[in-house]
Amino acid sequence: MSTFVQRSVEQAVDLRLGRIILTILAAPFYVIGLLIGAVVVVAVVAAGAVKLGIADVRSRIEAQPAPDSDPS
């Protein structure tokens, strides 16, 4: 049975330094893309909500009876 230190050394030898460096370099681009995607989704949903709200207000205004223009 191997000791913890021996197993740790075996795992350390198996690490690929190039892959780790590339992962670290790619991480900011992944995060930036994720944030931009979230902002786009929020903006599209907000635009849809505004459009729906305007249509709702217009339909309520059209449904109200017109006030009488005859003051007498």
**Is 58 part of any domain?**
yes
Token pair, residue 68, equals 């009488």
**Is 10 part of any domain?**
no
**Is 25 part of any domain?**
no
- Full-model pTM: 0.59
pLDDT tens-place string over residues 30-63 = 999 999 999 999 999 999 999 999 999 999 988 8
**Is 19 part of any domain?**
no
pLDDT of residue 36: 98
Cα–Cα distance for residue pair 66/72, rounded to 1 Å: 16
**Contacting residues for 2 by C-beta, under 8 A, at least 6 apart:** 10
**Is 47 part of any domain?**
yes
Reference 45, options 34, 53, 35, 33; nearest CA is 53
